[in-house]
A = this chain, B = another copy of it.
Amino acid sequence: MKTTLGVGMVGYSFMGAVHSHAWRTVHRVFDVPVEPAMVAVCGRDAAAAQRAAEKFGWQSTETDWRALIARPDIDIVDICTPGSSHAEIAIAALAAGKHVFCEKPLATTVAEAERMATAAAEAQSQGILSMVGFNYRRVPALALARELIREGRLGVIREVRSAYLQDWIADPDFPLVWRLKKEEAGAGALGDIGSHIIDASQFLVGSNIIGVSGLLETFIKERPLGQMTDGLRAESTTGQREMGAVTVDDAALFTARFAGGAIGSFEASRFAVGRKNGMSIEVYGSKGSLVFNFESMNELMFHDHTLDPLEAGFRRILVTEAGHPYLEGWWPPGHVIGYEHTFTNELKDFLDCLASKTPPEPSFADGLQVQRVLEAVETSSDSRSSWTDVKE
């Protein structure tokens, strides 16, 4: 017989909308052993929380996350707030015996992330599980890529070439939203989207980054002050012309070495005009290579270097077959899926782990390690790009 687990979500902006969709959908498409109940959504603005609850289908609201955590009908706390609040909420939730699903990046500093990872490890010994939401691991094409690499189809991995390119703040008049303030966001492009390609590349290669040389740049130093609006597309201008300082990077470049011997090139930017969500990874090994770009997320390009050279080439695998990762829940071949499906896939794995009492991946420890890479990139950038080892 199926069990139902109560979910409480903190935050209801862009990530809150996407997570709501995934909680509503996961048991409708996958055969999961436990079903989620959308018990409560939490936000400081009571009216806005109420609107979010009605819109997204949550049964109740809270305005204080401590109250949410205290509720006995809540088994899972889902954290969708800005990064600076992750540590406090997550640690408290774990202490209260709630499973935690926390959006990425895990935290805004290594110190916070360390405390979170410690709390998660302790909770785990009590059967309380946690996961950090690097959703790109659940893109079917990337999950397939990981399988191919794990099976040795690429041989020895030699080079990783990855970028996450967006353009939403290329306009100097775009306002100073929270994602552009270090105290709330922790980092800029590096933390927000660079963290995704760090996690995804380590996931694919199966080996961690051990050292980096970084170069951060802030092209626009000041922006008009702005206020967040509700909902998904919060980040519009307000017409205000009072200016404030941008305290995070607009673009981040770094080179890296992986423990397994591969070298890597990384780039995260919110100024690459024409790129909307251009998260791309190329992995080159001795026996083959893989290329992925999120804007064509249903496709994985695979070059099998062991084939006759006269017939070899990058093969476009449309990752929509029933046997592909996560596709058992979705549609027939060629009936492509989209962005929010990666979150539904993620929750499927999370629920499977809760039922089987298996620690889900990526763990808070994984999130901490990504945080250490981010910190190393910043440290290197601050010291003339000098090579900087990632702490273990």
Interface residues of A (CB under 8 A from B): 14, 18, 20-21, 24-25, 28-29, 55-57, 144, 148, 158-159, 161, 163, 166-168, 170, 213, 215, 217, 219, 232-233, 251, 253-255, 257, 263-265, 267, 269, 271-278, 282, 284-289, 294-298, 302-303, 305, 309-318, 320-324, 331-341, 380, 384-387
Contact = CB atoms under 8 A, between A and B. Distances in A.
Contacts of A309: 321, 323
Given A274-B303, A286-B170, A386-B385, A336 B339 contact: yes
Contacts of A251: 158-159, 263
19 contacts: A21-B25, A24-B24, A25-B25, A253-B263, A253-B264, A269-B284, A271-B284, A274-B284, A275-B334, A276-B318, A276-B320, A276-B334, A294-B334, A311-B317, A313-B316, A335-B338, A384-B386, A385-B385, A385-B387
Residue from A318, A322, A341 with most neighbouring chain B CB atoms (10 Å): A318
How many copies make up the complex?
4
Contacts of A255: 213, 215, 253-255, 385
The 10 closest A-B pairs by CB, nearest first: A276-B334, A277-B334, A274-B303, A338-B338, A213-B385, A384-B387, A276-B333, A337-B338, A335-B339, A315-B315
A331 B339 contact: yes
A335 B305 contact: no
A41 to B, nearest CB: 13
A295 B316 CA distance: 12
A288 B273 contact: yes
Contacts of A168: 332-333
A384 to B, nearest CB: 4
